[in-house]
Amino acid sequence: MKKLEQFRGKHVLILGLAKSGEAAAKLLHKYGAIITVNDAKPYAENEQAKNLEGMGMRVVCGHHPVELLDRSFDYLVKNPGIPYTNPIVQEATNRGLPVITEVEISSLISDAEIIAITGSNGKTTTTTLVYEMLKNSLKTPHLAGNIGTVSCEVAEQLTEQDIMVLEVSSFQLLGTVEFKPKVSVLLNLFDAHLDYHGTKDEYIKAKSKITVNQDGNDYFVFNADDYEVAKVAQSSQATLVPFSTKKECDGLYIKDQMIYFKNDKLISLEEVVLPGAHNVENILAAIGASILLGANQEQIKHVLKTFTGVEHRLQFVEEFEGRRFYNDSKATNILATKKALEAFKQPIVLLAGGLDRGNEFTELKDALMNVHVLVAFGETKDKLAEAARDAGVQSIVFAEFMEDAVSLAFEQSNRGDVILLSPACASWDQYKTFEERGNRFVDAVRNVICK
């Protein structure tokens, strides 16, 4: 296993704990780094910090004092969620101190080949598809990154007989220097996280770091239909593997309702059970990345014939009295809800609403044409109702809680309808996470069925 010798005896500041900060601190401490942990949570309430202090690390809690940097650190390992506008991060950058994330550490220690997947939408679905497709191949796949387990925890355990299937965000990628996956995937680029990155150009620059260190022995799987993604591909030094749902290309594409890879037929779209036109892009990307690292084609076909989606991402829940219920709680922005609505040809009863970030919902108008009932909830319910009226939605009702929303949706629905939770908003006005919101929806659906 590769060792982190470059950190031995070095002074490292871990800024922000949560899962990634704690994992990075423990790993670097194990390989001889001198660790200082700085976390905003007060010490009295901070069990993570207390545990790390008990292991011999210095901890500073309750705030982020810029004066910490006077201790002459060699590295700053930043929790991805902490913005670069944070004063201590800005000062570290001004002093020329390397600011990295734990994804960088995982790439330095891993003996396994890495498939790294990013994009504005579809990362988790694509990452899960790749993981499933690589099962029963010569090497063993392991999920890591945003999808679950912190990447440096996984990387330490892997050998050359493994593959790390890694979902990475722009926040994580921005803090990389030597990160070099064997296969990188860029799905799409939309306006996202501009409050963090400042401009779309900076956001794209962060995403493009997934391929910046690759060479001709590596592969860059990219969406040839996305103009911004195609521009990133032009500057990549990796072997390019495009995918397209609109045209034939030297990679993965659709022709006569068949999926092709390099002119070889793989499977008919009719056999694929995962709903949604946007998921065809995710499927093409996953097939390409999997084949490049030795996936068995029979396993790929099996996955496509059986995989119905990731929890909270256009997840099929139940069918009851001719209605099909779908949980798309991860749709925390307008674009994601548009894609969900476009995934169905059936009439839709839409449950939507949540945290008000100042957005208007006029962009949803065209996508609402197939919605005959809107059940609106949360801070944005009135704005969503206005957009629905403009779109000609026949029935608009309001709900306070998810249980009420699901009951109203069922009462207003007809046989053959899709009842879809796709909020177009973050969950934080009522729920701690989109997962909690989605779980409440699933529970409410099952309560309706059991009445």
Which residue ranges are tagged as binding site for ATP?
119-125
Taking Cα atoms as reference points, which of 109, 226, 108 lies closest to residue 207? 226
Q: How far apart are CA 408 and CA 103, in angstroms?
A: 44
Sequence-ordered alpha helix ranges (H) in 95-176: 102-109, 123-134, 151-155, 170-174
Q: Which residues contact 273 (CB under 8 A, 6 or more apart)?
A: 304, 305, 306, 307, 308
First to last CA, the chain: 56
Closest by CA position to 116, among listed 185, 178, 177, 169: 185
Question: How many residues comprise the chain?
Answer: 451
Instruction: Of 68, 107, 74, 108, give the one whose Cα is nearest residue 91.
Output: 68
Q: Is 239 exposed, middle or buried (0-12, 13-18, 19+ CB in 10 A)?
A: middle
- The answer to whether 111 touches 271, Cβ cutoff 8 Å, is no
User: Which residues are documented as binding site?
Assistant: 119-125
Structure tokens at 388: 């629905």
Residue with tokens 């996955």: 303
